[in-house]
Amino acid sequence: MMNIRRDDTHGYMEIELFGAYQVERMPELVENMRELATQHRFISWLEIHHGKPQNLFSAMMKTASASKNPDDYAFVRQMRKFALVSDNPGIMFRIFELFARGSHIKLKIFPMHERDRARLWIEEPHQTTQS
C-alpha cells in the first residue's frame, strides 16, 4: 500500500510506503509534481518507508515511462530536497545520497523516530547560497 499526500503550502509530495510501490500510481505522482512545479519555484519529496520497500526499480521505470516528452520532466530542475525516512534504507538510497552531494538536490536519510524532523526539514524554505 502507498499513501500519497500533496502539500501545496510547502510545495512537496509525501509518499508513505507500506511494503511495495504501487507502480500503477507512478504517473499520478509525476502529474502532481508537474502541478507543484507550476505553483512553486522549488519543490521537494518526502518518502517514508515502513519496512523494506519492494519493486523500487519497477516504480522507477514506470515513472520514467509516464511520458514520451522529456519536457514533462522539467520539474526535476526545480527539485531541491528529497528526504527518506527509514530505519533500513536500501543500498540504492545510500548511493543516491552519495551522488547527491554537490548537486542542486539535497538528499537526507532520517531514522523513523525523526519523521517529524524530516518533515520540518522539507518544509524549511530553500536557501540559495552565494559565493
Listed in sequence order, the DSSP H helices in the chain are 26-39, 56-64, 91-100, 115-123
Other CB atoms within 10 A of residue 87 CB: 12
- Predicted structure pTM score: 0.83
Cell numbers 526545480: residue: 78
Higher pLDDT, 92 or 129: 92
For residues 66-90, average pLDDT: 82
Higher pLDDT, 46 or 90: 46
pLDDT greater than 60 at residue 128: no
